[in-house]
A and B are shown apart, each in its own frame.
Chain A
Amino acid sequence: MKTTITMVTAALFTAMLVIGCGGEPKGRSGARSDVQEAALATYVAPGDLDEYYVFKSGGHSGQVYVYGIPSMRHIATIPVFSQYPATGYGFDKESKEMLGSFSWGDAHHPSLSETNGDYDGRWLFISDNANNRMARINLRDFKTKEIFGPIPNVSGNHCSSFVTENSEYVLAGSRFSIPLPRGTYEKVEDYATKYKGVVAGIAVDSKTGNMSLGWEVLMPPFNYDLGDGGKGPSADWGFWTCYNAERATGKLEVTASQKDRDYVVAVNWKEAEKAIQAGKFKNLGGAKVIDPKDAEGVVYLLPAGKSPHGVDVSPDGKYIIASGKLASITTVFNFEKMLTAIQKKDFSGNEDGIPVLNYDSVKEAEVNVGLGPLHTQFDDKGFAYTSLFVESAIAKWQMGTWEVVDKIPVSYNIGHLAAAEGDTKNPDGKYLIALNKLSHGRHLSVGPSQPESSQLIDIGGEKMSLLYDAFTEPEPHYAQIIKADKLNPIEVYSKEENKHPKAIWDIKDAKIMRNGKNVEVYMIAVRSSFEPWKIEVTQGDKVTVYLTNIEQTTDELHGFGLNEYNINVVADPGETKTIEFVANKKGVYPFYCTNFCSALHQEMQGYLLVK
């Protein structure tokens, strides 16, 4: 008996040791086949291309990052609001003029241009939260072509950029209400009465993409936070969320979180256009601003709890989904019911002349998604995906039944999420990216300043599955995902396309022209020399170099770096750039090709000789 007990105990003890001490390595706790599947799903073999482009905003880096799905590789950076010496952005005359007096911008939400509610691959818009501007990137050559603004009266362009269904307008607005027009001084204690916000539509020319002032609506001093353009039945409307209906100042984390409900702002932009045409506007700061008191039917408020952050219109345009970041529910508003409430004047109040619709009359459902809901994206099977910041997860729920069907944890603290073709009338499903705010512990430690995290999630099946952790420069807020075959960028500028008035194409035409203190250098860069290679000037001369890269082969870039004059300009194949500087330092200053071009790249140099 004793021996049996000893043997059994010994056996049990050994078994526990074996089971306890074995175990999978950290991070591989899934079944082996899950890891293999995820690896295969994200592997893009050498020489192969990704399926989707991802355009991520760069946040306060001021740039846009281009990634590929499913590899999640960072392919390129498109400079927008900040200098970027790697491509010479912000050093040549043309880009310097675009940047104006600002050397950075806060780029939050990119928005691909749409035609009929689908991404058409023409432009990418992105707003500047810091300096109230809007930029347009041309997707034919992935270059920033226009920076519009600072937009009059818009203060803190955060609830931007969001396009209407046919890119008629890009939506904008004020996150930080100020006294208007900008430049007016009022005590901050008078915030509730003397400070004003605006929501705006910046007009986009349908042929050139050039932006101009459209309409603005004068709003109470709330903080206008996010937005989305309507689709289908709601295509004539633009929506924004706002918080701080308390009209508070001071410690906003407390003072702006007192009320149970803030608002979704609904603007009928067709009515706004009509109001402008009918002259029902004030000229404020150079823009046409509609006062809701003078123009009925332009703007309405829908109560939304609590401190709503994201607003997203469903692909069929029938539902407007707003998430209260301090609540645990996401509210689904019914667009039809909204129109009915407006018609029946079913109002529960009024803010500075703007009717507040009765919550129960416009609400369709409250979905119990989880803690800290923010933004919602959609797939092709009628499901919605809402990001949960506080809970650090994503909830998948069904449109119509309003039931949560799945949840996946994210690492960590997700802000926005982006689905493939997610803002369109026809999302692709398949992929979802979680744009997380914290990445600690998920990568090799790089010290206190950490990158952001982007996690690729497979949403093709019933349950979501995490495929990949990618890390980005600080700091993407939102992204746009478009099918790769919708874009067909050029990689070489043909002679016909180069409209620079001082472009030259033959080495015979390279020359230096002098007119008093003005020196104009017509320079050619081609493998592997500069022509002319010698620039002789007198101290104080104003030098302008028109640099043409006459290569006609892809990837043959040439740079122009001038020693100690703080200049680095890069010309793409077929491109001409204008470089302006004053030769204020005398002596001899070498210049050289900075962008590697050929076997004899080292020999590609010249001299600036300043007498």
Chain B
Amino acid sequence: MQRYLEKATSFFEIPIDFRSRLLIIAAAVLLVPTYVLPLWNMTLYSNQFPDGLSMDIYSYKLEGAKTPNRDDLKEINSLNHYIGMRPLLEDDFTEFKWIPFVIGGVMLLALRVVVFGKMSKLVDLFVLFSYFGAFSLWSFYHKLYLYGHELDPTAAVKVPPFTPPMFGHETMANFEVYSFPGAGSYFMAIVPLILLAGMWLSRKSWINAKRTTAA
């Protein structure tokens, strides 16, 4: 057990390979688009809306498709009020305040990894970022659950409580609803993979370190 712990500690002490550092810088750069690209999209199709009512969730705002003849977010809220669902209003979501802050923090941590060059920092970053990602996904699912379950009991149209789809397709009344990650989410998803690649590329340092400990 002791030997294993010593091995682990020495792993965390190894320097990060130069190529890994480049990858980590790339990961930080790849986080920039997540500010401006949609993270998630939900589109609702029906006979009356063959082109779909669409809304995008960004890191900092909630926006429905807007054409001169239709404001999709307003229309979705108008339709939802019949079943007693709370209107989707950007101001109700604190996520739009802390997500951009966290992404900035991650980018700073990435730079910290590159500067200090120690594997422990990289592992920290990987764990924190994965936690951030998992928490965001859970938070999103939780919001969907709340909005679909906390329906106004005096609503004109009574529907059993439901959870709008988070990933994939579902039929809700006369609507075909499609919910999928947006471009921004794909950039987010690559980052942990890049961080892992960064760890992998530094394995030479780990092999050298093991030899030194063994000796």
Tell me the A residues contacting B by CB distance below 8 Å. 490-492, 494, 526-527, 551-554, 599-600, 603
Closest chain B residue to A491, Cβ basis: B69
Interface string of B54-69 (1 = CB under 8 A from A): 0000000000000011
Chosen A-B contacts, 10 in total, with CB atoms closer than 8 Å, are A490-B69, A491-B69, A527-B78, A551-B78, A552-B75, A553-B70, A553-B74, A554-B70, A599-B82, A599-B157
Query: What residue in chain B is nearest A573 (Cβ atoms)?
Result: B69
- Chain A proximity of B152: nearest CB distance (Å): 14
Which of chain B's residues have a CB closer than 8 A to the CB of A554? 69-70
Residue B71, interface by CB 8 Å: yes
Q: How far is the CB of A288 from chain B (nearest CB, A)?
A: 42
Contact A492 B70 (CB under 8 A): yes
B70 touches which of A526, A552, A599, A600 (Cβ 8 Å): A552
Give the distance in Å from the alpha carbon of A554 to the alpha carbon of B81 in the complex.
Answer: 18
Chain B residue nearest to A492 (CB atoms) is B69
| A302 CB, min distance to chain B CBs, angstroms | 49
Nearest CB of chain B from residue A259's CB, rounded to whole Å: 57
Expressed in whole angstroms, the minimum distance between the Cβ of B71 and any Cβ of chain A is 4
Q: Does B156 touch A at the CB level, under 8 Å?
A: yes
Q: Which residue in chain B gives the minimum CB-CB distance to A603? A: B156
Known contacts: A599-B82, A600-B82, A600-B156. The answer to whether A553 contacts B68 by CB under 8 A is no
B156: A residues at CB distance < 8 A: 600, 603
User: Which interface residue of B69, B81, B82 has the most chain A CB atoms within 10 A?
Assistant: B69
Least CB distance from A549 to B in Å reads 12
Q: How long is the Cα–Cα vector from A527 to B75 in the complex, in angstroms? A: 10
- Do A492 and B75 contact each other (CB < 8 Å), given the known contacts A599-B82, A600-B156? no
A439 to B157, CA, bound (A): 51
Q: Which of A491, A599, A600, A603 contacts B68 (CB 8 A)?
A: A491
A490 engages B68 (CB within 8 Å) = yes
Contacts of B81 in A (CB 8 A): 527
**Could you say which residues of chain B place their CB within 8 Å of the CB of A527?**
78, 81
For B70, B74, B75, B82, which residue has the most chain A Cβ atoms within 10 angstroms? Answer: B70
B82 touches A552 (CB 8 A): no
> Contacting A553 at CB < 8 Å: which of B69, B82, B157?
B69
Which residues 147-198 of B have a CB within 8 angstroms of A?
156-157
A599: B residues at CB distance < 8 A: 82, 157
Chain A: which residue is nearest B78 at the CB level? Answer: A527
- Complex Cα gap A554–B78 (Å): 13
Chain A residue at minimal CB-CB distance from B74: A552
Task: Report the bound CA distance from A551 to B77 in whole Å.
Answer: 11
Question: Contacts of A551 on B, CB cut-off 8 Å?
Answer: 74, 78
Size band of the B side of the interface? 10 to 19
B53 to chain A, nearest CB (A): 9
- List 4 other contacts, CB 8 Å, given A552-B70, A553-B75: A554-B69, A554-B70, A600-B82, A600-B156
Q: Which residues of A contact B75 (CB under 8 A)?
A: 552-553
CB pair B68–A492 under 8 Å, yes or no, is yes
Chain B residues with Cβ below 8 Å from A600 are 82, 156
- Residues in A with CB closer than 8 Å to B71 are 492, 552-553
Residues of A within 8 A of B82 (CB): 599-600
A333–chain B nearest beta-carbon distance, Å: 47
Closest residue of chain A to B73 (Cβ to Cβ) is: A552
Q: Select from chain B the residue with minimum beta-carbon distance to A526.
A: B78
A547 to chain B, nearest CB (A): 18
In the bound complex, what is the Cα–Cα distance between A447 and B196 (angstroms)?
A: 85
The 4 tightest CB contacts between A and B, nearest first, are A552-B71, A554-B69, A491-B69, A553-B75
Q: Which of A551, A553, A600, A603 has the most CB of B within 10 A?
A: A553
Which chain B residue lies CB-closest to A555? B69
Q: How far apart are the CA atoms of A599 and B70 in the complex, in Å?
A: 19
Chain A min CB distance to B81 (Å): 8
Cα A551 to Cα B75 with chains together (Å): 8
* Minimum CB–CB distance for B126 against chain A, Å: 45
Q: Cα distance A552–B156 when bound, in Å?
A: 22
Return the chain B residue nearest A554 by Cβ.
B69
A472 to B82, CA, bound (A): 41
Residues of A near B69 (CB, < 8 A) are: 490-492, 553-554
Find chain B residues with CB under 8 A from A526 CB.
78
Q: Give the distance to chain B from A485, nearest Cβ to Cβ, in Å.
A: 16
Complex interface: chain B residues within 8 A of A494 (CB):
68
Q: How far is A552 from B69 in the complex, measured between Cα atoms in Å?
A: 7
Interface string of B7-28 (1 = CB under 8 A from A): 0000000000000000000000
Give Cα distance in the complex from A600 to B156, angstroms. Answer: 9
Distance (whole angstroms) from the CB of B155 to the closest CB of chain A: 11
Chain B contacts for A491, CB-based, 8 A = 68-69
* A527 to B80 Cα, complex, angstroms: 11
Contacts of A553 in B (CB 8 A): 69-71, 74-75, 78
- Chain B residue numbers with a CB within 8 Å of A492 are 68-71
The minimal Cβ–Cβ distance linking B170 to chain A, given in whole angstroms, is 22
Q: What residues of chain A lie closer than 8 Å to B74, measured between beta carbons?
A: 551-553
Question: Could you tell me the distance in whole angstroms from the C-beta of B165 to the nearest C-beta in chain A?
Answer: 23
A551 CA / B81 CA spacing, docked (Å): 14
Alpha-carbon separation in the docked complex, A600 to B155 (Å): 12
Cα A492 to Cα B67 with chains together (Å): 10
- The distance from the CB of A602 to the nearest CB of chain B, in whole angstroms, is 11
Q: How many Å lie between the Cα of A65 and that of B162 in the bound state?
A: 49
| A436 to B24 alpha-carbon distance, docked (Å) | 79
Closest to A550 in B: B74
Q: How far is the CA of A552 from the CA of B78 in the complex (A)?
A: 10
Minimal beta-carbon separation of B3 from chain A (angstroms): 68
Assembled-state Cα–Cα distance A527/B74 (Å): 11
Question: Whole-angstrom distance from the CB of B50 to the nearest CB of chain A?
Answer: 9
Distance in angstroms from B195 CB to nearest chain A CB is 44
Docked complex Cα distance between A603 and B157 (Å): 13
How far apart are the CA atoms of A603 and B69 in the complex, in Å?
26
Which residues between 71 and 100 of chain B lie within 8 Å of chain A, taking CB atoms? 71, 74-75, 78, 81-82
Distance between A597 CB and nearest chain B CB, rounded to angstroms: 10
The minimal Cβ–Cβ distance linking B109 to chain A, given in whole angstroms, is 42
Which residues on A sit within 8 Å (CB–CB) of B78? Answer: 526-527, 551, 553
User: Can you name the residue of chain A whose Cβ is closest to the Cβ of B157?
Assistant: A599
Bound-state Cα–Cα, A388 to B78, Å: 56
Cα of A490 to Cα of B78 in the assembled complex, Å: 21
Closest chain A residue, CB of each to CB of B75: A553
Chain B, residue nearest A493 (CB):
B68
Q: Which residue of A lies closest to B48 (CB)?
A: A555
Q: Considering residues A551, A552, A554, which has the most beta carbons from chain B within 10 angstroms of its beta carbon? A: A552
Report B-chain residues with C-beta under 8 Å of the C-beta of A603.
156
How distant is the Cα of A494 from the Cα of B74 in the complex, in angstroms?
13
Residues of A within 8 A of B70 (CB): 492, 552-554
In the complex, what distance in Å separates the CA atom of A526 from the CA atom of B156?
A: 15
Q: Determine the residue in chain A with the shortest Cβ distance to B53.
A: A553
Q: Which residues of B contact A490 (CB under 8 A)?
A: 68-69
Least CB distance from B83 to A in Å reads 11
